[in-house]
Structure 1
Amino acid sequence: MDNIGIKSEEKEIYIKIIKKVPDRYKNIAQEFIIKKIDEGKRTETIKGYFNDLIQFIRYLEIKGVDLFNIDSKEIELFKGKMLRRGLKPKSINRKLTSINQFLKSIDSQVKFRKIKEQSQNFLNDVFTREEIERLIKCCSNIRDKAIISTLWKTGIRVSELLQLKVRDVGKESIDIEGKGGKHRDILISNELNKLLKEYLKVRISVPGNELFTGKRGALKRGAINKIILKYAKLAKIRKEKAHPHSFRHAFCKALADNGVSIDIIADLAGHKSLDTTRIYTRHTKKELIKILDNI
């Protein structure tokens, strides 16, 4: 990994990933990582591929089957096992995509089909405004309150949240680099700016100019995830909802519910396609059940 032009923290992530892979697959795993970096895939995407792939490799190891000698039957058996464990078709199909990406990289000719999914016309696992208010009330310090409020009030991705600098506080709009290296402005409300200014008074000073910090330095993705999980548990919110992207979903839905046009929501969220944005004009499952109760 030494000859790849990536940040040291990303290199550490990839080294940890490769350590989890059985010795006989380590070289091909490294080649796969390099290929995906060259394709412009994000670190989290590559990490996701390997989480799924390592699970599949462990399944094969138990059966005494070599990854290089599998056939479509083995993948069908793995698919069946995941279904029996209660995994949703969407989760299984994601795993199959990861496996397929790897098999393509080693020129495997194994063919298999994903599980057919009916298009879902309602939103699922979206924070309600009341749940977000409960999360914020549970916050034990202003930093965590500022993090959750920023995710909720801007709809930014966690990778974008970690880009924010001290100098950004007080601005009405901030330029950030989004998915695919595309830049966009995010808007900051007066209320959020006021909260961020209060947070700056107690911000832990560390080397660098990152806005959100802790005793060990600038916060990373894992720390943000832990913060959200911690308060979700206190607020009695389901674990499945407790991730940064749920705030992004809630932000887009709140704008749609308030009559903001799809093209403007797409601009604010940094969506490449309006079809992605159009999802947030739908009702949630809970809203649909409430409508059915009133029929």
Structure 2
Amino acid sequence: MGRSENTVKTYSGVLQSFLDWLYSNGKSTKDLNKENVQAYVTYLETEQRSLSTIKKVFNTINTFAKSINRIEITQDVNITRQNKINQVLPEYLSKVEIEELLQKIEIDSNKRNTAIVYTLLKTGIRVSELCYLNKEDISINNKNQTGQMVVRKKRDNNERTIPLPKSLVYHLVEYLKSRDDKEEALFLSNYQKRISVRTVQHMLQHYGVHPHKLRHTFCYELLQNGLDISIVAQLAGHSDINITKQYLKCIENKQFDEDGQKYA
């Protein structure tokens, strides 16, 4: 007890991020074990978080484990593999895979699911950020059918603005036209409540895609098209530009075929 308000806020934010990660991978608090704590630490490493940040996250989870008498879930977790993960590159969808995904959602004709997939693919936002969006966070220019989205982190005042392409605006408008409720949330569950991370994750599994892959695709395509890396980092909400630099490695790798020859 006696912790400062900022300490409590940070502690809560770290735990919520861990839970969001669990939910986004189809798990829940029932799956709290050493393997999942290790997997989360490894995920943070692949996101190229600094070792000091990873240690702070681990210490918070360790404190939580002690408070619920589950200290075994953090025992022998390895947090010193920082130099072994440089070869791990983010997976993204190829142009063919993107077309196949969009064809699947078109066949289903579910306006909400279509709008969600387009939002994740065309803005690169995290699933937790998508679930937190309100209708008022979207502004649309009816003249040219483009718009922008204000993305806020649930636990702090940080926000960023992302431009919306015509294809996304079209599906957002179509989805919103289909609603006759007064809920403030942009995306609702089938029970007319704000959609959850687990619901989005389950829906995407139906289409055979993971939300992280859509986010990676967004970042990769922007850099592939020549957008400045600092702008991509800002749009993606990366706290460390080194995270964004991973996608440059993807582009470099793609320039060579299996024989080490450059593509024409």
Deviation at 1:225, TM superposition (A): 0.5
Structure 1 runs not aligned, ≥5 long: 1-33, 60-81, 233-241
> Does the CA-based 8 Å contact 2:15-2:60 persist in structure 1?
no
Instruction: Identify the match of residue 166 of structure 1 among 107, 127, 135.
Output: 135
Deviation at 1:184, TM superposition (A): 1.0
Which of the pair has more CA radius of gyration? Answer: 1
Deviation at 1:289, TM superposition (A): 6.8
In 2, Cα distance between equivalents of 1:154 and 1:279? 18
Q: Is it true that 1:149 corresponds to 2:118 in the alignment? A: yes
Superposition TM-score, scaled by structure 2 size: 0.67
Q: 2:89 matched to which residue of 1?
A: 123
In 2, Cα distance between equivalents of 1:37 and 1:208? 29
Q: Is it true that 1:183 corresponds to 2:159 in the alignment? A: yes
Q: 1:6 matched to which residue of 2?
A: none
Structure 2 runs not aligned, ≥5 long: 1-6, 23-27, 47-53, 142-146
Distance 1:287 1:197, change over 3 A: same
Superposition TM-score, scaled by structure 1 size: 0.61
Deviations 1:262-288 (A, max 9, x none): 111111111111111111111279837
Distance 1:35 1:155, change over 3 A: same
Deviation at 1:293, TM superposition (A): 5.6
Q: Is it true that 1:244 corresponds to 2:211 in the alignment? A: yes
Deviations 1:151-182 (A, max 9, x none): 01011111221233334252522222137621
Q: 2:18 matched to which residue of 1?
A: 45
In 1, Cα distance between equivalents of 2:94 and 2:250? 12
SS of corresponding position for 1:259: coil
Deviation at 1:131, TM superposition (A): 1.4
In the alignment, residue 115 of structure 2 is paired with which amino acid? A
Q: Is it true that 1:222 corresponds to 2:198 in the alignment? A: yes
Q: Is it true that 1:55 corresponds to 2:41 in the alignment? A: no
In 1, Cα distance between equivalents of 2:150 and 2:58? 36
In 1, Cα distance between equivalents of 2:63 and 2:135? 44
Q: 1:258 matched to which residue of 2?
A: 225
Question: How many equivalent pairs are there?
Answer: 223
SS of corresponding position for 1:254: helix
> Does the CA-based 8 Å contact 2:124-2:236 persist in structure 1?
yes
In 2, Cα distance between equivalents of 1:264 and 1:99? 30
In the alignment, residue 195 of structure 2 is paired with which amino acid? L
Deviation at 1:99, TM superposition (A): 7.2
> Does the CA-based 8 Å contact 2:134-2:186 persist in structure 1?
yes
In the alignment, residue 261 of structure 1 is paired with which amino acid? D
Q: CA RMSD in A?
A: 4.0
Deviation at 1:191, TM superposition (A): 2.3
In 1, Cα distance between equivalents of 2:77 and 2:204? 37
Instruction: Identify the match of residue 268 of structure 1 among 206, 215, 235.
Output: 235
In 2, Cα distance between equivalents of 1:53 and 1:214? 24
In the alignment, residue 217 of structure 2 is paired with which amino acid? A
Deviations 1:48-74 (A, max 9, x none): 688598334xx9xxxxxxxxxxxxxxx
